[in-house]
């Protein structure tokens, strides 16, 4: 695939800014809409739009029964559980806080790979895990955070979502899925959205029509569907084909910063000194986990 520099720049903008802004958009929408209804509408709508675009591009939507089952499992792990509960938790925690906690996702993936696959943790990654744990502790131990009603439950739910995302990442690495990433994404969004719809009915959420929503919520939903679910994810897969995974992974460091700033500016969420310190420690740990570079000094120390 030929390199298109302007398109690559726009794709990086998408995974940096758009993904970082989804925390703000979800926070705005969940103040008015039930969380599972919100997420269900977002992903079913995005999946249907993807299918329409795929047909216009002449792509086949046919998949095997096994692939359909696997996309449903992935949709549940990533979207129903992994995202639906994050939206639910945003009723109790700030959007910037949620983004910072989720930035520890590489740490959870690494530990799960060690537990489930017996993969050796490299010395650089061990340092990252230690820093990540310290950063998470600094983040969640703040009195002004844990004193809020429901905040502890929200933090626990977000951590559960991270485990679901981590297991989902390992699952899709080996599962039989549609070879076309666009089609694969569409089926995951449709299946995840349907399960979220059933979950919403199970919890007795009250559904309302879009014309009854406030303008802010209407625009948030449109932006979540078009940009957060379609544009940003397509950009992510596009970049994985053209640039190194390490460069794509830099979104892990930028998303929380964008979320913190947007939450502070638009929702007047408080950014404490301890949150800033926690962010620096946590994101440094994530860097150590993601980096492919080796430090000879640490290698020699740990391999003695």
Tokens matching residue 115:
């537990």
Q: Which of 144, 142, 139 is nearest to 280 (CA)?
A: 139
CA 142/CA 294 separation, integer angstroms = 34
Higher pLDDT, 217 or 126: 217
The answer for residues whose C-beta is within 8 angstroms of residue 279's C-beta and 6 or more apart is: 100, 135, 139, 256, 257, 260
Report the alpha-carbon angle 208-213-214, nearest 5: 165
The structure tokens 């695939």 sit at 1
| Structure-token pair, residue 153 | 């439950």
Rg (CA), the chain: 19
Are 139 and 275 contacting, i.e. CB atoms less than 8 angstroms apart?
yes
What is the residue range of 236's domain? Answer: 5-302
* Per-residue confidence band for 300, with pLDDT thresholds at 50, 70 and 90: very low
Structure tokens at 150: 């429901």
Q: How far apart are CA 77 and CA 84, in angstroms?
A: 10
pLDDT of residue 207: 95
> What percentage of residues in the chain have a pLDDT greater than 90?
60
- Which pair of tokens denotes residue 157? 């739910």
- Does 204 have pLDDT greater than 90? yes
End-to-end CA distance of the chain: 45
**110: closest CA among 87, 90, 133?**
133
Q: What per-residue confidence (pLDDT) applies to 245?
A: 65
Interval 233-289: pLDDT, tens: 888 877 877 776 667 777 878 899 999 999 999 999 989 999 999 999 999 998 888
Mean pLDDT of the chain: 88
Residue 174 predicted with pLDDT over 80:
yes
pLDDT of residue 299: 40
- Tallying the residues shown for the chain, one arrives at 304
pLDDT at 148: 83
d(CA 212, CA 214): 7
Burial class (CB in 10 A: 0-12, 13-18, 19+), 82: buried
Report the number of distinct structural domains present in the chain: 1
What integer pLDDT is reported at residue 303 of this predicted model? 41
Lookup: tokens for 272: 């404490």
- Count Cβ atoms within 10 A of the Cβ of residue 110 and give its class: 0-12 exposed, 13-18 middle, 19 or more buried: buried
Q: Of 83, 47, 77, 67, which Cα lies nearest the Cα of 171?
A: 77
Residue 215 has pLDDT above 90, yes or no: yes
For residue 83 the two structure tokens come to 């995202």
pLDDT in tens, 140-172: 888 877 788 889 999 999 999 999 988 888 888
Q: How confident is the model at residue 34 (pLDDT cuts 50, 70, 90)?
A: very high
Its pTM stands at 0.88
236 neighbors 248 (Cβ within 8 angstroms): yes
pLDDT band at 107 (very low <50, low <70, confident <90, very high): confident
Of 290, 285, 282, the closest CA to residue 250 belongs to 290
Sequence-separated contacts (24+) of 223-226 with Cβ below 8 Å = 223/21, 223/25, 224/22, 224/25, 224/26, 224/29, 224/42, 225/41, 225/42, 225/45, 225/46, 225/49, 226/46, 226/49
């Amino acid at each position: 695939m030929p390199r298109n520099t302007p398109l690559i720049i726009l794709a990086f903008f998408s995974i940096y800014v758009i993904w970082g802004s989804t925390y703000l958009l979800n926070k705005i929408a969940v103040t008015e809409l039930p969380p599972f209804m919100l997420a269900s509408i977002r992903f079913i709508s995005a999946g249907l739009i993807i299918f329409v675009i795929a047909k216009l591009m002449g792509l086949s939507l046919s998949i095997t029964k096994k692939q359909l089952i696997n996309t449903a499992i992935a949709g549940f792990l990533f979207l129903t559980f992994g995202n639906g509960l994050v939206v639910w938790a945003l009723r109790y925690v700030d959007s910037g806080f949620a983004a910072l906690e989720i930035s520890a996702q590489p740490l959870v993936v690494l530990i799960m790979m060690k537990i489930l696959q017996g993969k050796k943790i490299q010395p650089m990654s061990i340092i990252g895990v230690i820093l990540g744990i310290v950063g998470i502790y600094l983040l969640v131990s703040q009195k002004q955070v844990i004193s809020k009603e429901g905040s502890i439950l929200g933090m626990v739910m977000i951590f559960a979502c991270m485990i679901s995302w981590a297991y989902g990442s390992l699952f899709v690495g080996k599962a039989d899925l549609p070879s076309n990433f666009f089609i694969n994404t569409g089926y995951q969004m449709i299946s995840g959205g349907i399960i979220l719809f059933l979950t919403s009915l199970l919890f007795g959420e009250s559904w309302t029509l879009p014309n009854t929503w406030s303008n802010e919520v209407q625009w948030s939903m449109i932006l979540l569907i078009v940009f957060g679910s379609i544009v940003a994810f397509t950009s992510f897969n596009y970049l994985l084909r053209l640039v190194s995974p390490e460069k794509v992974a830099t979104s892990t460091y930028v998303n929380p910063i964008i979320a913190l700033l947007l939450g502070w500016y638009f929702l007047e969420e408080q950014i404490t000194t301890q949150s800033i310190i926690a962010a620096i420690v946590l994101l440094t740990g994530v860097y150590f986990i993601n980096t492919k570079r080796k430090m000879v000094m640490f290698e020699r120390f740990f391999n003695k």
